[in-house]
């Protein structure tokens, strides 16, 4: 089958799949404390998720990343992984998972057995009080135990940290050193205006351009050409020997080389994280559509893909999209 190419000549090789909007944390930048989650009947079944993943792999997608919400709370998630792993080496290069780490100690070995070799762990603080304030749950010990279990199992761990001006900005250098001392990469992420939350995002926004400038006053940073399929731009911190990434959707967007599209747990395909443009792939699935009908729906979606997002710092107080990150997938 012909590869997926958007109207701006960008090949689609990376599919991020949200398997649930539910989560066992309530991070202040991601969702409200009183989130109303989707009825389970609206979610794609494991079989439907597998069918859509297969359709994209047939069109040139080489990386699958499973996200949420928190994917490890989705019933049947391991069954999905065991099913899609049949494509590894047959068009698919890798299967990765993004998790908050709370249940990782239990799932590390099963994830490895299902073909996963890399996990991204969302970790915004290694101070227990700060972690509990950001996540609204006191779960840091479980997350640290999960990271240790992942390493012991053979999974490569990368840490993702959302930079928050009033909560963890002071801790970022310490967190980078802590992560590198354990042999992990770490990526810092600017907060993004997705969905209504209980906090003022403008008040919490921390420019990573400024963070990097500050780091250069006490660390030696060397730009790296490395790409891992995502939007991060990497440097090596010569003083720690580790790799540090920056994801900067507001101060320096990453749209020009974007190869990603996102499938929600309800079967909507979003062409851009920062746009509402989407196509419903669940409808043809549940209407009994054959593979040709599914591929036609995917083609129609890719033809609508915008050139880039419209995140603007001065509009952070209001979300750029109504959906939360837990719906689209991080």
**3-48 pLDDT, tens digit each:** 999 999 999 999 999 999 999 999 998 888 888 889 989 999 999 9
State the pLDDT confidence band at 229, using cuts at 50, 70 and 90.
low
Q: Tokens at residue 263, please?
A: 């499938």
Residue 279 has pLDDT above 90, yes or no: yes
- Cβ atoms within 10 Å, residue 286: 13
What is the set of domains in the chain, with CATH numbers? 14-325 (3.20.20.70)
Q: How many residues does the chain have?
A: 330
Least confident of 87-101, 128-142, 244-258, 275-289: 244-258
Q: What secondary structure letter does DSSP report for 199?
A: S
Alpha-carbon distances of 109 from 23, 101, 104, 142, rounded to whole Å = 21, 13, 9, 16
Contact 232, 249 (CB under 8 A): no
**Per-residue confidence (pLDDT) for residue 201, from 0 to 100:** 59
Question: CA end-to-end span of the chain, whole Å?
Answer: 29
Q: What is the mean pLDDT of residues 301-322?
A: 64
Please name every residue paired with 91 in a beta bridge, in sequence order, or none if there are none. none
- What is the rounded distance in angstroms from the CA atom of residue 102 to the CA atom of residue 144? 8
- Nearest Cα neighbor of 74 from 43, 52, 102, 53 is 43
Percentage of the chain beyond pLDDT 70 is 87
Query: The sheet that has 156-163: what strands, in order across it?
Result: 221-223, 233-237, 242-247, 185-190, 156-163, 118-122, 94-99, 63-67, 14-18, 260-263, 268-270, 278-280
Q: What is the mean pLDDT of residues 206-232?
A: 90
Alpha helices in the chain (DSSP H): 46-57, 77-84, 104-113, 128-135, 140-153, 172-181, 201-204, 208-215, 282-286, 291-302, 325-328
Residue 327 has pLDDT above 60, yes or no: no
Residue 135 has pLDDT above 70, yes or no: yes
**Per-residue confidence (pLDDT) for residue 197, from 0 to 100:** 47
Residue 324 has pLDDT above 90, yes or no: no
């Amino acid at each position: 089958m012909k590869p997926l190419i958007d109207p701006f000549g960008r090949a689609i090789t990376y599919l991020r799949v949200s398997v649930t909007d539910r989560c066992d944390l309530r991070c202040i930048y991601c969702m409200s404390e009183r989130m109303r989650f989707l009825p389970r009947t609206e979610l794609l079944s494991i079989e439907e998720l597998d069918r859509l993943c297969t359709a994209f792999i047939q069109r040139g997608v080489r990386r699958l990343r499973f996200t949420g919400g928190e994917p490890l709370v989705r019933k049947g998630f391991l069954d999905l992984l065991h099913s899609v792993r049949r494509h590894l080496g047959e068009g698919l290069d890798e299967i990765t998972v993004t998790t908050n780490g709370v249940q990782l100690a239990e799932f590390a070995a099963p994830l490895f057995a299902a073909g996963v070799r890399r996990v991204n762990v969302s970790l915004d603080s290694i101070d227990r009080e700060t972690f509990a304030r950001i996540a609204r749950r006191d779960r840091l010990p479980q997350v640290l135990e999960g990271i240790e279990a992942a390493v012991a199992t053979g999974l490569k761990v990368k840490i993702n940290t959302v930079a928050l001006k009033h909560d963890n900005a002071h801790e970022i250098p310490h967190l980078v050193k802590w992560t590198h001392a354990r042999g992990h990469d770490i990526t810092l992420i600017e907060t993004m205006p997705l969905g209504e939350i209980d906090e003022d995002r403008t008040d919490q926004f921390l420019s990573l351009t400024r963070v990097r400038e500050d780091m250069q006053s006490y660390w030696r940073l060397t730009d790296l050409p490395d790409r891992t399929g995502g939007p991060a731009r990497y440097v090596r911190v010569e003083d720690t020997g580790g790799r540090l990434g920056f994801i900067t959707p507001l101060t320096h967007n990453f749209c020009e080389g974007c190869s990603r599209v996102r499938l929600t747990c309800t079967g909507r395909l979003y062409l851009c994280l920062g746009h509402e443009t989407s196509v419903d792939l669940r409808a043809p699935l549940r209407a009994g559509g054959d593979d040709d009908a599914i591929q036609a729906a995917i083609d129609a979606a890719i033809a609508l893909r915008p050139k880039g997002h419209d995140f603007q710092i001065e509009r952070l107080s209001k979300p750029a999209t109504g959906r939360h990150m837990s719906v689209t997938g991080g």
